[in-house]
DNA sequence: TATTGTTATACTCTATAACTATA
DNA sequence: TATAGTTATAGAGTATAACAATA
């Protein structure tokens, strides 16, 4: 993320089995992002452009996009510029605070998001192999391993 | 990935519950890579530099690194250049094929990998909350959802 | 002829710093 | 004073194309 992030706290000895679990997590994360990148490239989009579109289920200020993407606010300008030039998003003035610009998906942007979502699933055939019980179990374990921050 | 990758096959209708599972997978993958990037930045490394070091458990030709990282071979030159300039890897001539250069971790590089691994675990405290049974279950489900390619 | 690694090129992403216009 | 968005800048990642050395 930021290049000035202080080093994390020294690691404590980890529980047995952690190394193998980490390998599986690394593999799963790599597969997911590789599939996402391939799908985005299929529409002439970069990974980060596809991610931004996927975040725009509702209109969001530039600042909020920067936080959700985990990058500096100055980057959002260029990414939105390029998406706007392709007609996938548009900037709107926020009435409540005239400093704020809200980013909104265009109909073409919404269609791109639908295609991305569908193609991601199609690109990860292993997911379709899991039955309902396994899916619920996987969701539950992922949610405990990577809790959603409440704030 | 490559910008010329052909679009994926049209998506078939997905099973119910897939959308919510995809959200959890996206969140988990984002958390994992965010943690990885923070840990790498703590050592002055980029995400891709940290990933490359982590792949070098055994010496690998430049070409193999490109495939494992999912990027073009021409990029590997620069990434290895920067890691080599910092003394974390070194290039060795391959005796069997004089076209090939093999990339090897230096002792400093090995130490960097150890720190990365330990800090990643420390940066994902949710993982330590899982008991042995849950870890095995999560590993099994991830392995079925993202099978390791054989060959 | 094909393959490995490199170089040159152009574009995108990234953080930092400085700027403006609002609040 | 503080905040939202932009611009300028520099460095890193990325694909493409062309190249030298080797197979």
pLDDT of residue A18: 87
CB-based burial label for A12 (10 Å; 0-12, 13-18, 19+): exposed
Contacts A17 to B, Cβ<8 Å: 132, 135-136
pTM: 0.90
pLDDT (tens digit per residue) in A16-27: 688 999 999 999
Query: Residue A142: which pLDDT band, with cuts at 50, 70 and 90?
Result: very high
CA distance B61 to B39: 26
Task: Give the closest-approach CA distance of B93 to chain A in angstroms.
Answer: 30
Residue indicated by tokens 């300039």: B85
Mean pLDDT across A42-67? 98
User: Looking at the C1' of nucleotide D8, which residue has the nearest alpha carbon?
Assistant: A74
pLDDT of residue A150: 54
The answer to whether the C-beta of A58 is closer than 7 A to strand C is no
What percent of chain A has a predicted confidence (pLDDT) above 70? 88
Question: Which tokens go with B76?
Answer: 């590997």
Task: Give the closest-approach CA distance of A87 to chain B in angstroms.
Answer: 19
Which are the contacts of B78, defined by CB distance < 8 A and separation ≥ 6? Answer: none
Question: Which tokens go with A73?
Answer: 């606010």
**Pair B73, B63: CB distance under 8 Å:** yes
Give chain B's radius of gyration (CA, Å).
18
Contacts B43 to A, Cβ<8 Å: 7
Rounded, the Å distance between the CA of A139 and C1' of C10 is 42
> Nearest nt to B73, CA vs C1'?
C5
Contacts A118 to B, Cβ<8 Å: 10-11, 14
pLDDT (tens digit per residue) in A92-115: 999 999 999 999 999 999 999 999
How many residues does the structure list for chain B?
Answer: 151
Q: What share of chain A is helix, strand, coil (3-state, %, to 5)?
A: 60, 10, 35
Question: Mean pLDDT in each 10-residue stretch from start to end of chain B (151 residues)?
Answer: 43 70 96 96 97 98 98 98 98 97 98 97 93 96 89 39
| Cα–Cα separations (whole angstroms), residue B111 to A72, B30, B89, B106, B108 | 30, 26, 11, 9, 5
Residues 115-144 (B) near nucleic chain D, CB < 7 A:
none
Which are the contacts of A104, defined by CB distance < 8 A and separation ≥ 6? Answer: A56, A59, A89, A90, A91, A92
């Amino acid at each position: 993320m930021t290049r000035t992030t202080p080093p994390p706290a020294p690691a404590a000895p980890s529980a047995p089995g952690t190394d193998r679990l980490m390998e599986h997590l690394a593999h799963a994360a790599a597969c997911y992002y590789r599939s996402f990148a391939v799908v985005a490239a299929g529409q002439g989009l970069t990974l980060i452009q596809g991610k931004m579109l996927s975040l725009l289920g509702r209109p969001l200020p530039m600042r909020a996009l920067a936080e959700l993407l985990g990058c500096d606010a100055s980057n959002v300008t260029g990414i939105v510029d390029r998406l706007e030039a392709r007609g996938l998003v548009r900037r709107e003035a926020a009435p409540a605070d005239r400093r704020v610009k809200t980013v909104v998906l265009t109909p073409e942007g919404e269609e791109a998001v639908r295609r991305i979502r569908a193609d991601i699933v199609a690109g990860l055939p292993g997911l379709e192999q899991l039955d309902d019980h396994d899916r619920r179990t996987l969701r539950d374990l992922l949610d405990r391993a990577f809790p959603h921050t409440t704030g």
